[in-house]
Amino acid sequence: MLSAFARAFQTPDLRKKLLFTLGIMVLFRLGAHVPVPGVDFVAVNQCLKDTPSGLFGLVNLFSGGALLQLTIFALGIMPYITASIILQLLTVVIPRLEALKKEGQAGTAKITQYTRYLTIALAVLQGTGIVATASSGALFSGCQYANQVVPDQSVFRIATMVITMTAGTTMVMWLGELITDRGIGNGMSILIFTSIASGFPGSMWAIKLSGKIGDGWVEFLSVIAIGVIVVVLVIFVEQAQRRIPVQYAKRMIGRKAFGGTSTYIPLKVNQAGVIPVIFASSLLYIPALVAQLTNSQAGWATWIRDNFVRGDHPIYMATYFVLIVFFAFFYVAISFNPEEVADNMKKYGGFIPGIRAGRPTAEYLNYVLTRITWPGSLYLGLIALIPMIALVAFNANQNFPFGGTSVLIVVGVGLETVKQIESQLQQRNYEGFLR
């Protein structure tokens, strides 16, 4: 990986792309420290010291800590991620979106435009919710300065804060698209990578400070060792795939023979990626958020506060694991259509050796996909539980640096970026067959 980056910096045009990407990443991190107008930054800092991230840990993780600091990039890239997932799910349900998806580049551009509009709408909705939560003091529950975070709660001031956060989300979306067009890698993924990686040093040092053995160095080195093992495991599983061989029959057109080639369908063990973890985390936040905002003292609210607020509670961990496994199968079922793949193979004269074309091929693909989704979903569940186990073992916060969503995204984005750099290097250094 390091050799790929070194060779990329030696190539002038790739060096410009890398420097442009790094410049956007620096700008993104600077925006994550500029507070929204109308926020008492002293009170926010005091509450950050006194209270953990709590319910808003996932959104705070994706914003690189900007959410709880109430900065202009507080919402980060989360509205865009949510909008993309919603559009992807609606593509299966709405025939018009499915037709656009099949139109190629023009249809994809139209869906991207819809995603932008939905992102702005979600940013307004989420911004209003965050500002209202901060104004009521529920954003930092348990902090004595929580009600002082937003001193001026007039309609004009609240509207200004919401508009500022929405504009910040729009700018983040624009920065991501700039990286995609003029930089290296997928812009949105790079910005998520930047947000998550920025929290690693602070989380590691917090573990060292809270450690009790050897002045905290034993815990610190143990976490690093666990991190190396987890990263190796994630890389191994993310690269693992089941290759189903496909043979294309020869066709005679005039005097020329076409086809007759052999290829394969790569089915990844973790076909769903990090989406099930995001779905499960978001769903688990809803009951705890409702109980917190309503401030109800009923039996159901007390039960939720006792079992679904603390990440190290056995009921919370078991529910989280089951939801991840369920959403892994759910997302794979809607993102990969065996019948469509079988029909396309049959249309172009392709077949799996030993399997008849058509419905038997679809049933075989579904059978294989179900079998490899089981280890993939269990792997996602175990990786996601690592921060909760660390919460008990090392007294770490729920955003443990080497587990769950953070490592899955960081490793996945890193692998894809390195592949893009290597492919562009190969294109520029390819000697060709005429020499």
The β-bridge relationship of strands 241-248 and 262-268 is: antiparallel
Give whole-number Cα distances, 3 to 11, 410, 418, in Å. Answer: 13, 19, 10
The answer to whether the CB of 62 falls within 8 A of the CB of 24 is: no
Q: How crowded is residue 2: how many other Cβ atoms within 10 Å of its Cβ?
A: 7
pLDDT (tens digit per residue) in 298-315? 777 777 777 776 666 788
Given this model, what pLDDT does residue 434 score?
Answer: 46
User: Mean pLDDT across the stretch 273-297?
Assistant: 75
User: Mean pLDDT across the stretch 220-227?
Assistant: 81
CA 373 to the chain's CA centroid: 19
Lowest-pLDDT range, 45-54, 85-94, 354-363?
Answer: 45-54
Q: Report residue 220 as tokens.
A: 């610190």
DSSP bridge partners of 258: 251
Q: Report residue 208 as tokens.
A: 């060292």
Q: Report residue 376 as tokens.
A: 């993939």
Rg (CA), the chain: 24
pLDDT (tens digit per residue) in 233-269? 888 888 888 888 888 877 666 666 665 678 888 888 8
Q: What is the 3-state secondary structure (H, E, C) of the chain?
A: CHHHHHHHHHCHHHHHHHHHHHHHHHHHHHHCCCECCCCCHHHHHHHHHHCCCHHHHHHHHHCCCCCCCCECCCCCCHHHHHHHHHHHHHHHHCHHHHHHHHCCHHHHHHHHHHHHHHHHHHHHHHHHHHHHHHHHCHHHCCCCCHHHCCCCCCHHHHHHHHHHHHHHHHHHHHHHHHHHHHCCCCHHHHHHHHHHHHCHHHHHHHHHHHCCCHHHHHHHHHHHHHHHHHHHHHHHHHHCEEEEEEEECEEEECCEEEECCEEEEEEECCCCCCHHHHHHHHHHHHHHHHHHHHCCCCHHHHHHHHHCCCCCCHHHHHHHHHHHHHHHHHHHHHHCCHHHHHHHHHHCCEECCCCCCCHHHHHHHHHHHHHHHHHHHHHHHHHHHHHHHHHHHCCCCCCCCCCHHHHHHHHHHHHHHHHHHHHHHHHHHCCCCCC
Residue 144, pLDDT > 80, answer no
- Pairwise pLDDT comparison (387 vs 56), residue with the higher score: 387
Distance CA 324, CA 322 (A): 5
| Closest to 288 (Cα-Cα) out of 274, 307, 304, 306 | 304
The answer to whether the CB of 28 falls within 8 A of the CB of 175 is: yes
Q: Which residues contact 338 (CB under 8 A, 6 or more apart)?
A: 361, 362, 363, 365, 366, 369
pLDDT (tens digit per residue) in 11-32? 888 888 889 999 999 999 888 8
Residue 1's pLDDT band (cuts 50, 70, 90):
low
Given this model, what pLDDT does residue 431 score?
Answer: 54
267: phi then psi, degrees, rounded to nearest 5? -105, 115
Given this model, what pLDDT does residue 8 score?
Answer: 78
pLDDT (tens digit per residue) in 348-405? 778 888 888 888 888 999 999 999 999 999 988 888 887 777 666 655 554 455 666 7
pLDDT (tens digit per residue) in 146-163? 788 888 888 888 899 999
Residue 166, pLDDT > 90, answer yes
The β-bridge relationship of strands 262-268 and 256-259 is: unpaired
Q: Report residue 374 as tokens.
A: 């089981």
Provide the whole-model pTM.
0.80
| Closest to 373 (Cα-Cα) out of 267, 281, 274, 239 | 267
Residue 433, pLDDT > 50, answer no
